[in-house]
Structure 1
Amino acid sequence: MTVVSRPGALAPDTAVGTAAHALELRDITKRYGAFTAVDGVSLRVDRGQFLTLLGPSGSGKTTILMAIAGFVAPSAGAVLLDGRDITGLPPERRDFGMVFQGYALFPHMTVAENVAFPLRVRGLSRAAREEKVRAALDLVQLSRFAGRRPAQLSGGQQQRVALARALVFDPDLLLLDEPLSALDKKLRAELQEELKALHRRIGRTFVNVTHDQEEALSLSDQVAILNHGKLVQVGPPEALYERPRTRFVADFLGKSNFLHGMVREVRPDHIALQAGGTRLVQAMREGHPAPGMPALLSLRPEKIALLGEEDGAENEVTGRIAAWAYLGAGYGLTVATADLGEIRVALPAWRAPIAPREGLPVRLGWSADAAVPVLEDADGG
């Protein structure tokens, strides 16, 4: 979708414009009787950023979004917009746009009437409504569908109508509650690209909720990972993927192997670990583990190579293929090893060095900086 603009409405901001606002959550807690849905969450969304709240079902992400929108009153803590406390403001006075998972379009209204609804509620004149609706529909490439009803549109088109309706009144924030989850995989990927382009185009602050890791990685400037109502880690997508702090983050955000070992040697630039009869070399990161301490490493499948007879690596282990699957762009291998258990390997299919089959002996290798030490915490908190 190529985004366009009309004069006077939803015009693009230069870099981050004055229409973008900063959001801050301070120790937000929400209790339902003895159950704590959100437990002391604090985070900041800078002006013009795209933040995604990511976590499994029951992690508290939707409750946080509803607290931002004003539909849920926190048991404790505060919601601030540009430093102003809005915790007590009702939803209609927050001036936030919202896109729901199920679109929430009025079936008896046309596309144009659905988009115009927030403007009618705000008492804008008919001429002003028509101009803003035209601009919003132009923005999402749906001008030619203005006279249709939602039932005459595809799921992706309905989602665009919902976006146009949420943006038509120039909201302070755009809140998205799993807006793409009802779409099939191909359409979801297409709309991810369009939503990211739309965010760049209009320069507003977006807060998104999803349980889809790929969506969070592809859309966001910042990702906040939640588990059991607690904020586990927040940062740019690449930082979370490459440098997870805990086993939960590494396991939830993509696939990972977890290697257990005992620290045997500490050098200025690396540590040596022993895992059964296998010696592992790990580049020194933050912290200084002492010899004799247990360590846990997270190793992504795509960072492991299949070694040929003449190849070498800082870390090597032999094993046999226990299972494999063809995934189009590559093969997913499960290699059984004596000391490290089963190791998952992502092998590019194009000119793969082997034809995978069960029982095939292989030698795996990876560099000392490929893995990341993580904390072993069962609940991720």
Structure 2
Amino acid sequence: MSAAGHALSLQGIGKRYGDFVAVRDASLEVASGEFLTLLGPSGSGKTTILMMVAGFVEPTAGRILLDGRDITDLPPERREFGMVFQGYALFPHMTVAENVSFPLRVRKLGRAERDTKVRAALDLVQLGRFADRKPSQLSGGQQQRVALARALVFDPALLLLDEPLSALDKKLRAELQEELKALHRRVGRTFINVTHDQEEALSLSDRIAILNHGNLVQVGTPEALYERPATRFVADFLGKSNFIEGDAVVDAGGITLRRGGARVLARGTADGPAVLSLRPEKIVLLPDGAAEDNVVGGRIASWSYLGTGYGLVVETPDLGPIRVHLPAWRAAVAPAEGLPVRLGFSRDAAVAVLEDAA
């Protein structure tokens, strides 16, 4: 099985259904061998983009290029893209080997070549000993791997994944995420994945493209999007965040935001009304006398034990309720409602974000 990846270019593609705009002027470059995830809530346009790439939905604007070649009007069967659907779409009356062999039979490959490719594909997903079983005899995770083998067996130019892990339970989903990431490294192909699961997107992807209401909002590496969200939507959708509104002025290290009697040092270049994003896990409880760039007093309004940590809501006089996540094994205090605490966080923990367009 070859390991050649292919580059994809979306140039101002859009899709309109009457007066409804499903995707609006989206441009995106996908590098050869990259794992890119389209992430967004239901109705954001991510699946519509994937279906336009696959050729099942015709764009009403823009072009789609594969390695510089315009494929916008090319029918799906001539694009040679592998696809894994949410429900796997396996044939129940066929064995695992017959399911994986199906794309090769459609392409009229000889029996010997088919058998060789099927064995290689099943070995790739570690299911060689299940070749003679029917899909109903497999677990959900095994069925997902059969679908992956079938999508890869004919050496596709791209592998398109439409929420392939969403039908699995949380623990199995986490295990399959690791397998899918390892599979991507082994085959070296270009993967384009669609999901609404933030953790899945963060753990799998080289880059993430975040969509909302048909608009491509921000594209970047998982770390860049999480640490430097451009908008309030991105900060809120990708993980959890506190939002602090106030009036900002530029200072030597970034900005100073004032709200009531509080002053917050943050990253950014905002001047005037501004919104800060502050991740709960970047806040610590300070012992008396300890200093930090930002120190805020308050009382614990509520708390929850989450296994790996405590989730607190701390009511502060000037900043309002602040959510805090503390590692349980090193929590400075035992949480209790009404307990007075001092919150501390660095300037780098708070970043100015843009308000989302109406």
Asked if Structure 1 and Structure 2 have the same fold, meaning a TM-score greater than 0.5 normalized by the shorter chain, the answer is: yes
**2:340 counterpart of 1:358:** no
Q: How much does 1:358 deviate?
A: 1.3
**Partner secondary structure for residue 266 of structure 1:** strand
Further displaced range: 88-97 or 307-316? 307-316
1:313 to 283, 292, 296: 292
Alignment partner of 1:55 is 2:34: no
* Mean Cα deviation higher: 347-356 or 214-223: 347-356
Q: How does 1:1-381 map to 2 (within 5 A)?
A: 10-11=1-2, 13=3, 19-263=4-248, 265-283=249-267, 285=268, 287=269, 289-290=270-271, 293-377=272-356
CA distance in 2, matches of 1:336, 1:129: 65
Displacement over 4 Å in runs of 4+ = none
TM-score (norm 1): 0.92
| Secondary structure, aligned partner of 2:87 | coil
Q: 2 CA distance for matches of 1:38 and 1:270?
A: 35
RMSD in angstroms over aligned alpha carbons? Answer: 1.0
Secondary structure of the corresponding residue to residue 347 of structure 2? coil
Kindly provide the amino acid, as one letter, of the partner of residue 302 in structure 2: A
* SS class of match (2:182): helix
Q: CA deviation at 1:269?
A: 2.1
Measured in 2, the distance between the counterparts of 1:368 and 1:92 equals 53
Opposite residue 239 of structure 2, the aligned amino acid is G
The 2-side partners of 1:93 and 1:272 are apart by 56
Name the aligned partner's letter for residue 218 of structure 1: S
Structure 2 length normalisation: TM-score?
Answer: 0.98
SS at 2:329's partner residue? coil
Gaps of 5+ in 2: none
- Percent identity over the alignment is 75
Distance in 1 of aligned mates of 2:318 and 2:175: 43
Deviation at 1:359? Answer: 1.3
Structure 2 Cα separation of the partners of residues 257 and 378 of structure 1: 19
CA distance in structure 2 between the partners assigned to 1:211 and 1:107 by the alignment: 28
Q: Distance in 2 between matches of 1:217 and 1:351?
A: 25
Deviations 1:75-98 (A, max 9, x none): 111111001000101000000000
Tell me the CA shift for residue 266 of structure 1: 3.0
Per-residue CA deviations over 1:300-359 (Å, capped at 9, x if unaligned) read: 011101010121111111111111111111011111111111111010000311111111
Asked whether the 8 Å contact 1:248–1:378 carries over to 2, the reply is no
CA contact (8 A) 2:265 2:350 kept: no
* Partner AA of 2:51 in structure 1: M
Residues 328 and 349, structure 1, Cα contact 8 Å, conserved in 2: yes
What letter matches 1:326 in structure 2? Y
Residues 198, 239 of structure 2: 8 Å contact kept: yes
Contact 1:54 1:212 in 2 (8 A): yes
Task: Find the residue that maps to 1:350 and give its secondary structure.
Answer: helix
Aligned residues: 358
